Amino acid sequence: MLIGIISDAHEDIVRLEKTLKILKKKKVDKLIFLGDMVGFGVSSYSHFKTRDANKVADIMKKEFDVVLIGNHDLYAIGKLPFYRGNINFPNDYYSLDYFKRKKLTGGQVYLYEANQLSPMLTDKNEKYLDSLKEYEIRDYGDYKILFSHYNYPDFTASFVGKIKKSSELKEHFEFMKENDCLYSFSGHGHVSGIRIFTEKKSKKIKFNEKYVLPNELVWLNGPTIANGVHKNGFMIFNTETREIEAIPLKTKPHTKYGAFKN
Protein backbone atom coordinates (compact mmCIF):
# COMPACT_ATOMS: atom_id res chain seq x y z
CA MET A 1 0.00 0.00 0.00
CA LEU A 2 1.23 3.49 -0.86
CA ILE A 3 0.43 6.23 1.65
CA GLY A 4 0.68 9.93 0.84
CA ILE A 5 1.56 11.84 4.00
CA ILE A 6 1.36 15.62 4.02
CA SER A 7 1.45 18.25 6.72
CA ASP A 8 1.23 21.97 7.42
CA ALA A 9 -0.96 23.31 4.62
CA HIS A 10 -1.31 26.67 6.40
CA GLU A 11 -4.19 27.75 4.11
CA ASP A 12 -2.09 27.24 0.96
CA ILE A 13 -4.77 25.91 -1.36
CA VAL A 14 -2.53 26.22 -4.45
CA ARG A 15 0.18 23.94 -3.05
CA LEU A 16 -2.41 21.53 -1.62
CA GLU A 17 -4.05 21.07 -5.02
CA LYS A 18 -0.64 20.63 -6.66
CA THR A 19 0.29 18.00 -4.07
CA LEU A 20 -2.92 16.06 -4.65
CA LYS A 21 -2.32 16.01 -8.42
CA ILE A 22 1.15 14.54 -7.90
CA LEU A 23 -0.10 11.97 -5.39
CA LYS A 24 -2.89 10.84 -7.72
CA LYS A 25 -0.38 10.38 -10.55
CA LYS A 26 1.70 8.22 -8.22
CA LYS A 27 -1.46 6.22 -7.46
CA VAL A 28 -1.33 6.37 -3.67
CA ASP A 29 -3.95 4.31 -1.85
CA LYS A 30 -4.49 6.47 1.25
CA LEU A 31 -4.00 10.11 2.19
CA ILE A 32 -2.90 11.26 5.65
CA PHE A 33 -2.81 14.87 6.86
CA LEU A 34 -0.74 15.57 9.98
CA GLY A 35 -2.21 18.89 11.06
CA ASP A 36 -2.12 22.68 10.66
CA MET A 37 -4.68 23.31 7.96
CA VAL A 38 -4.66 26.97 8.99
CA GLY A 39 -2.19 29.48 10.38
CA PHE A 40 -0.98 32.11 7.92
CA GLY A 41 1.84 34.27 9.27
CA VAL A 42 2.70 37.35 7.21
CA SER A 43 6.43 36.98 7.89
CA SER A 44 6.46 33.25 7.17
CA TYR A 45 4.51 32.64 3.94
CA SER A 46 4.04 34.15 0.50
CA HIS A 47 0.56 32.97 -0.49
CA PHE A 48 -1.35 35.92 0.97
CA LYS A 49 -3.53 36.51 -2.10
CA THR A 50 -4.43 32.85 -2.68
CA ARG A 51 -4.78 31.54 0.90
CA ASP A 52 -8.13 29.89 1.54
CA ALA A 53 -8.64 28.00 4.78
CA ASN A 54 -12.18 26.94 3.91
CA LYS A 55 -11.22 25.36 0.59
CA VAL A 56 -8.38 23.53 2.35
CA ALA A 57 -10.81 22.19 4.96
CA ASP A 58 -13.31 21.15 2.29
CA ILE A 59 -10.63 19.17 0.43
CA MET A 60 -9.55 17.49 3.67
CA LYS A 61 -13.10 16.34 4.34
CA LYS A 62 -13.49 14.96 0.84
CA GLU A 63 -10.10 13.45 -0.01
CA PHE A 64 -8.24 12.41 3.14
CA ASP A 65 -8.52 9.19 5.14
CA VAL A 66 -6.92 10.64 8.27
CA VAL A 67 -6.90 14.33 9.24
CA LEU A 68 -5.33 15.47 12.52
CA ILE A 69 -5.30 18.75 14.41
CA GLY A 70 -2.24 20.95 14.89
CA ASN A 71 -1.27 23.88 17.10
CA HIS A 72 -2.46 26.54 14.63
CA ASP A 73 -5.78 24.75 14.19
CA LEU A 74 -6.32 24.76 17.95
CA TYR A 75 -5.62 28.47 18.16
CA ALA A 76 -7.98 29.25 15.28
CA ILE A 77 -10.94 27.71 17.12
CA GLY A 78 -9.87 28.62 20.67
CA LYS A 79 -9.44 25.02 21.79
CA LEU A 80 -6.98 23.75 24.39
CA PRO A 81 -4.86 20.68 23.65
CA PHE A 82 -5.85 17.44 25.38
CA TYR A 83 -2.19 16.49 25.84
CA ARG A 84 -0.82 19.49 27.73
CA GLY A 85 2.58 18.49 29.08
CA ASN A 86 3.26 20.24 32.38
CA ILE A 87 1.15 23.34 31.68
CA ASN A 88 -2.07 23.75 33.67
CA PHE A 89 -4.16 25.80 31.25
CA PRO A 90 -7.12 27.58 32.86
CA ASN A 91 -10.47 27.06 31.16
CA ASP A 92 -10.61 30.77 30.26
CA TYR A 93 -7.13 30.71 28.69
CA TYR A 94 -8.20 32.16 25.33
CA SER A 95 -10.18 34.97 26.94
CA LEU A 96 -7.02 36.27 28.61
CA ASP A 97 -4.99 38.92 26.84
CA TYR A 98 -1.71 38.16 25.08
CA PHE A 99 0.54 39.33 27.92
CA LYS A 100 -1.34 37.42 30.63
CA ARG A 101 -1.12 34.22 28.57
CA LYS A 102 2.58 34.78 27.94
CA LYS A 103 3.24 35.23 31.66
CA LEU A 104 1.02 32.29 32.61
CA THR A 105 2.86 29.87 30.32
CA GLY A 106 6.32 31.25 30.98
CA GLY A 107 7.04 31.56 27.27
CA GLN A 108 6.71 27.80 26.81
CA VAL A 109 3.59 27.95 24.61
CA TYR A 110 3.28 29.43 21.14
CA LEU A 111 1.36 32.72 20.95
CA TYR A 112 0.18 33.83 17.54
CA GLU A 113 -1.28 37.33 17.59
CA ALA A 114 1.94 39.10 16.61
CA ASN A 115 1.93 37.98 12.98
CA GLN A 116 -0.92 35.53 12.29
CA LEU A 117 -3.98 36.51 10.28
CA SER A 118 -7.47 35.15 10.91
CA PRO A 119 -8.31 32.13 8.72
CA MET A 120 -11.92 33.38 8.42
CA LEU A 121 -13.38 29.90 8.80
CA THR A 122 -17.08 29.22 8.37
CA ASP A 123 -18.99 27.89 11.39
CA LYS A 124 -19.16 24.52 9.64
CA ASN A 125 -15.40 24.30 9.21
CA GLU A 126 -14.73 25.49 12.75
CA LYS A 127 -16.82 22.53 13.92
CA TYR A 128 -14.85 20.28 11.59
CA LEU A 129 -11.54 21.38 13.13
CA ASP A 130 -13.02 20.86 16.57
CA SER A 131 -13.87 17.25 15.67
CA LEU A 132 -10.29 16.30 14.75
CA LYS A 133 -8.12 14.00 16.86
CA GLU A 134 -4.65 14.73 18.18
CA TYR A 135 -3.27 11.38 17.02
CA GLU A 136 -4.29 8.28 15.08
CA ILE A 137 -2.96 4.72 15.14
CA ARG A 138 -3.35 2.54 12.05
CA ASP A 139 -2.65 -1.20 11.73
CA TYR A 140 -0.78 -2.32 8.60
CA GLY A 141 -0.65 -6.03 9.35
CA ASP A 142 2.93 -6.62 10.48
CA TYR A 143 3.11 -3.36 12.40
CA LYS A 144 1.22 -0.26 13.51
CA ILE A 145 1.92 3.40 12.72
CA LEU A 146 1.27 6.38 14.97
CA PHE A 147 0.35 9.60 13.14
CA SER A 148 0.37 12.99 14.89
CA HIS A 149 1.27 16.63 14.33
CA TYR A 150 4.23 16.28 16.69
CA ASN A 151 5.49 14.03 19.47
CA TYR A 152 4.07 12.86 22.82
CA PRO A 153 3.37 14.49 25.25
CA ASP A 154 2.87 17.42 22.87
CA PHE A 155 0.98 15.84 19.99
CA THR A 156 -0.34 19.20 18.73
CA ALA A 157 3.03 21.02 18.95
CA SER A 158 1.58 23.70 21.19
CA PHE A 159 4.87 24.10 23.05
CA VAL A 160 7.83 26.13 21.83
CA GLY A 161 10.86 24.18 20.63
CA LYS A 162 11.87 21.49 18.15
CA ILE A 163 13.29 18.00 18.66
CA LYS A 164 17.02 17.88 17.89
CA LYS A 165 18.19 14.54 19.31
CA SER A 166 16.84 11.08 20.07
CA SER A 167 17.15 11.47 23.83
CA GLU A 168 14.40 14.13 23.72
CA LEU A 169 11.97 11.50 22.39
CA LYS A 170 12.10 9.12 25.35
CA GLU A 171 8.46 9.72 26.33
CA HIS A 172 7.33 9.47 22.72
CA PHE A 173 9.06 6.14 22.19
CA GLU A 174 7.50 4.86 25.42
CA PHE A 175 4.07 5.88 24.13
CA MET A 176 4.80 4.00 20.91
CA LYS A 177 5.79 0.88 22.84
CA GLU A 178 2.69 1.05 25.04
CA ASN A 179 0.52 1.23 21.91
CA ASP A 180 2.47 -1.40 19.95
CA CYS A 181 3.56 1.06 17.23
CA LEU A 182 6.73 0.48 15.23
CA TYR A 183 6.77 3.74 13.27
CA SER A 184 5.55 7.27 13.93
CA PHE A 185 5.06 10.12 11.45
CA SER A 186 4.80 13.80 12.40
CA GLY A 187 4.86 17.21 10.75
CA HIS A 188 5.34 20.66 12.31
CA GLY A 189 9.12 20.67 11.80
CA HIS A 190 8.97 22.02 8.22
CA VAL A 191 11.97 19.83 7.42
CA SER A 192 13.64 20.15 4.01
CA GLY A 193 13.38 16.42 3.52
CA ILE A 194 12.82 14.03 6.44
CA ARG A 195 14.48 13.74 9.83
CA ILE A 196 14.56 10.14 11.05
CA PHE A 197 15.05 9.25 14.72
CA THR A 198 15.59 5.86 16.35
CA GLU A 199 16.07 5.44 20.08
CA LYS A 200 19.83 5.76 19.64
CA LYS A 201 20.53 8.04 16.70
CA SER A 202 19.11 10.35 14.06
CA LYS A 203 19.76 11.14 10.42
CA LYS A 204 18.32 13.33 7.70
CA ILE A 205 17.38 12.24 4.20
CA LYS A 206 17.05 14.77 1.41
CA PHE A 207 14.18 15.25 -1.00
CA ASN A 208 14.06 12.48 -3.65
CA GLU A 209 16.27 10.24 -1.52
CA LYS A 210 14.68 6.85 -0.81
CA TYR A 211 15.26 5.12 2.52
CA VAL A 212 14.05 1.78 3.89
CA LEU A 213 12.99 2.02 7.53
CA PRO A 214 14.70 -0.39 9.94
CA ASN A 215 12.75 -2.94 11.99
CA GLU A 216 12.95 -0.86 15.16
CA LEU A 217 11.15 2.12 16.68
CA VAL A 218 11.37 5.11 14.33
CA TRP A 219 9.97 8.64 14.54
CA LEU A 220 9.90 10.55 11.27
CA ASN A 221 9.54 14.33 11.05
CA GLY A 222 8.59 15.59 7.60
CA PRO A 223 8.17 18.73 5.48
CA THR A 224 5.47 21.33 4.99
CA ILE A 225 3.57 21.72 1.74
CA ALA A 226 2.96 25.46 2.32
CA ASN A 227 5.00 27.99 0.38
CA GLY A 228 7.13 29.43 3.16
CA VAL A 229 10.76 30.02 4.06
CA HIS A 230 11.59 26.29 3.99
CA LYS A 231 11.79 24.01 0.96
CA ASN A 232 8.39 22.37 0.77
CA GLY A 233 7.10 18.92 -0.10
CA PHE A 234 5.44 15.78 1.20
CA MET A 235 6.14 12.12 1.98
CA ILE A 236 5.22 8.83 0.33
CA PHE A 237 5.50 5.59 2.31
CA ASN A 238 5.28 2.06 0.96
CA THR A 239 3.86 -0.10 3.77
CA GLU A 240 5.11 -3.34 2.17
CA THR A 241 8.71 -2.41 1.33
CA ARG A 242 8.87 0.14 4.20
CA GLU A 243 10.47 2.61 1.83
CA ILE A 244 10.02 6.29 2.58
CA GLU A 245 10.66 9.23 0.26
CA ALA A 246 10.15 12.99 0.44
CA ILE A 247 8.91 14.58 -2.78
CA PRO A 248 9.74 18.28 -3.33
CA LEU A 249 7.21 20.81 -4.59
CA LYS A 250 9.99 23.16 -5.70
CA THR A 251 8.12 26.40 -5.16
CA LYS A 252 9.99 29.68 -4.74
CA PRO A 253 10.88 30.23 -1.05
CA HIS A 254 9.29 33.13 0.79
CA THR A 255 11.37 36.26 1.29
CA LYS A 256 10.74 39.40 3.34
CA TYR A 257 7.46 41.09 2.39
CA GLY A 258 6.91 38.37 -0.24
CA ALA A 259 3.41 37.78 1.14
CA PHE A 260 2.23 40.92 -0.61
CA LYS A 261 4.08 40.45 -3.91
CA ASN A 262 2.36 37.48 -5.53
For residue 208, the one-letter residue type is: N
Please name the residue ranges forming H helices in the chain: 13-25, 53-63, 71-77, 98-105, 123-130, 170-178
Cis? peptide before 153, omega within 30° of 0:
yes
Distance of CA 171 to the CA centre of its chain: 19
At 177-236, the pLDDT tens digits run 999 999 999 999 999 999 999 999 999 999 999 999 999 999 999 999 999 999 999 999
Given a contact cutoff of 8 angstroms between Cβ atoms, the answer to whether 91 and 16 are in contact is no
In the CATH scheme, what architecture does the domain 2-260 have? Answer: 4-Layer Sandwich (3.60)
SS3 7: coil
Nearest-angstrom CA–CA distance, 194 and 184: 12
Give the per-residue pLDDT at 85.
Answer: 79
Q: What local confidence, expressed as pLDDT, does residue 260 receive? A: 42
How far is the C-alpha of 177 from the C-alpha of 146, rounded, in Å? 11
Amino acid at 207: F
Q: Kindly list the domain boundaries of the chain, sorted by start residue.
A: 2-260
Instruction: Give 4's strand partners.
Output: 31, 236
pLDDT at 220: 98
Is pLDDT of 261 > 60? no
d(CA 19, CA 72): 21
Distance CA 55, CA 200 (A): 41
